[in-house]
Amino acid sequence: EKPGLELAVVSVPSYACQRHTPLLHHNTTLTDALSILAENAELGENEGRGVAFRRAAALLKSLPQEVRGAEQLRGLPCLGEHSLRVIKEVLEDGVSHEVETTTHSEQFKAMKALTGIFGVGAKTADRWFREGIHTPSDLQRSGHTLNRAQRAGLQYYDELNLPVTKPEAVAIGQIVERAVHAVLPGAEITLIGGFRRGKQTGHDVDFLITHPDEGREEGLMRKVVSWLEAQGFLLYQKTTGNSYLESKEGPARPASNMDRFERCFSIFRLRTDNEGREIQTGTEIQTGDGSQTYSPTLTNTDPHTHSDTHPHTKTDSHPLPQTLVVVGDHAQKVSWVLGHSQCSGPRSWRAVRVDLVVSPYSQFAFALLGWTGSKLFERELRRWAVHEKAMTLSSHALYDRKRTQYLRASSEEEIFAHLGLEYIPPCDRNA
Ligand code: DGT
Ligand code: MG
C-alpha cells in the first residue's frame, strides 16, 4: 500500500464555509499554481472559471497534510477536470506548463501591472492593453484622461503595491480610533478583512465602525473623513452614503452583493518612525518630509536593477534622519522608492489603502461576517445559504425565504447557527 492513502477516505465537505481553512497549510505549491490560473481567469473576466480554480485551491488549503500523489485526491470534492490536470502536472513535474506560460505572457503581466493601479479594473486595463499600454509608465506617457482615483493610484503606485504590515495596520487603527472618538464618543472600531483572519500583511486595511445606540452612526462617515482631512491624514478619499432599505418582501432578487453601507475608500498618509509607530499630530518631523516635492518615478520598477542608488549606499553624503520610515522588511523597498523620488531628502511617510465601513448596530454581526472574508469564504457562505437553506445572506441581513422573515443575530456565532453551520473562527476562514 502506498503511504498517505488515508487522505482519500477522510470525508471533506464541499462548501468552503463548512471547513476550517488556516492561513498556513500544507499544499502551497499546488495552491500557488491554481491561484495564478484563477487570477488569469479573473483578469480575463471569466468569473466562473476563476471561481472553479479558487474552489479547488481552497479545498487543498483545508487538507490536514501534504498531497504527494494524485491517488490521494480520489473522492475529494471541488476538483474539476482542469484543476486536477494542473495538480497532477505539478505533482509529477514540479511545474505546470499552463501556469508557466501564463506567468510569462505579456498580457498577464500587463493586466496585473495595470489593475495594480488603484481605481483600474479588468475592463479598463484590457482596453489599455489593446492600445499597447502595458505598464503604469506607458499609461502616464499616453496622456489618457484619468479619473481622480486613477490619478491617485498612479501617483502612489509603488507604495500601494508594497504590502501593508501588521504594525502599520495597528498604527492606522489608532488614527481611525482617534478620528471616530473625536466625532462620536462611544463608537466601536473593529479591524476586519485579512488582518482579522490573522494575515501578517495585506493590500489594504479594513475597518468596521458602529455605535451601540442605533441611529447615532448615521452620517458618521462624513464627520470622520472631515476630521481626518483637517488633520492631513488623507491623500485621497471617496465616500458613499448608506442606501440600505429593508423591505417586507425580503431582499430583491438576485440578492445584491453590493454593500449599501456608508463607506470610504481612501489612501492614508501614514507617518512612521523607525519602529512603525505613527507620529502624533503636532510632532515635529525632523527632516525631509517631501510632501511638497515628492514625485514618484514610475519607470523601472525592478529594485534589483537600481541597487546602486539605494539610499544606504549614499549615507555618507545624506545621513538618514531618525524619523525616517520604515517597518520591517519594507525598509529596503520603500527606501528604493524614495531613492528614486525627486524630493530633496527621504520622506517620513507612506501611502496606505484604507477602507472604512459604518454599520448600524443591528446589522453589525452581518457586516463583520461579510467583511472578514476571505472573498471565497464569503461567496461560499452565500451559496450555502441559497442552495442548502433557501436563505439570502448579505452584509446587512439574513432572510429566510421559506418562513419569509429576516433572522436577527448579534454575533457571528448566531449567524452560523441560523445557517446550520458549525462556527468557523476568522483564523480558519482563509479559503
Ligand atoms: P487583502 O488583499 O490583504 O486586503 O485581503 P482581504 O481579505 O482583506 O481583502 P479585501 O480587503 O479586498 O476585502 C476584505 C473583505 O471584505 C473581503 O473578504 C470581502 C469583503 N469585501 C470587500 N469589498 C467588498 C464589497 O464591495 N462588498 C462586500 N459585500 N464585501 C466586500
Ligand atoms: Mg483587506
DSSP 328-345: TTHHHHHHHHHHTS-SSS
Q: Which atom of ligand 1 is nearest to the CA of 202?
A: 3
pLDDT score of 257? 57
Q: How far is the CA of 316 from the centre of ligand 1 (A)?
A: 44
Neighbours of ion ligand 2 (CB under 5 A): 193-194, 202, 204, 206
pLDDT score of 11? 86
Q: How far is the CA of 206 from the centre of ligand 2 (A)?
A: 5
- C-alpha separations of 54 from 29, 129, 186, 310, 374 in Å: 14, 25, 40, 38, 11
| Strand, coil or helix: 7 | helix
DSSP 58: H
- Indicate if ligand 1 lies below 6 Å from the C-beta of 259: yes
Ligand nearest to the CA of 373: 1
- Indicate if ligand 1 lies below 6 Å from the C-beta of 301: no
CB 232 within 8 A of CB 395: no
- Indicate if ligand 1 lies below 6 Å from the C-beta of 200: no
Predicted interface score ipTM higher than 0.90? yes
Nearest to 173 by CA among 197, 212, 207, 217: 207
Is there a binding annotation on residue 308?
A: no
Question: Nine-digit cell at 116?
Answer: 495594480
pLDDT below 50 — which residues of the chain?
A: 1, 9, 274-276, 279-343
DSSP 96-149: -HHHHHHHH-HHHHHHHHHHTSTT--HHHHHHHHHTT--SHHHHHHHT----HH
Could you list the beta-strand ranges (E) of 211-317.
234-240, 262-271
What residues are labeled active site? 204, 206, 355
Q: How far is the CA of 169 from the centre of ligand 2 (A)?
A: 10
- Indicate if ligand 1 lies below 6 Å from the C-beta of 126: no
The partner residues of 207 in beta bridges, in order of sequence, read 191, 356
Write down all domains in the chain, each with its CATH number in brackets: 6-102 (1.10.150.110), 107-155 (1.10.150.20), 369-428 (3.30.210.10)
pLDDT score of 358? 97
Ligand nearest to the CA of 163: 1
pLDDT single digits (tens) 213-245: 999 999 999 999 999 999 999 999 999 988 888
Ligand nearest to the CA of 200: 1
Q: Which atom of ligand 1 is nearest to the CA of 377?
A: 18
Instruction: Report how far residue 249's alpha carbon sits from residue 420's, in angstroms, rounded to the nearest whole number.
Output: 23
- Indicate if ligand 1 lies below 6 Å from the C-beta of 194: yes
Q: Which atom of ligand 1 is nearest to the CA of 374?
A: 18
pLDDT score of 378? 98
- Indicate if ligand 1 lies below 6 Å from the C-beta of 380: no
- Among all chains, which residue has been given the C-alpha cell 501588521? 166
Cα torsion angle, 184, 240, 45, 102, sign:
negative
Instruction: Report how far residue 34's alpha carbon sits from residue 57's, in angstroms, rounded to the nearest whole number.
Output: 6
Which amino acid, residue 287? T
Instruction: Report how far residue 405's alpha carbon sits from residue 401's, in angstroms, rounded to the nearest whole number.
Output: 7
- Indicate if ligand 1 lies below 6 Å from the C-beta of 50: no
Q: How far is the CA of 2 from the centre of ligand 2 (A)?
A: 42
Residue nearest to atom 2 of ligand 1 (CA): 203
Q: How far is the CA of 96 from the centre of ligand 2 (A)?
A: 29
Residue nearest to atom 11 of ligand 1 (CA): 193
pLDDT score of 10? 64
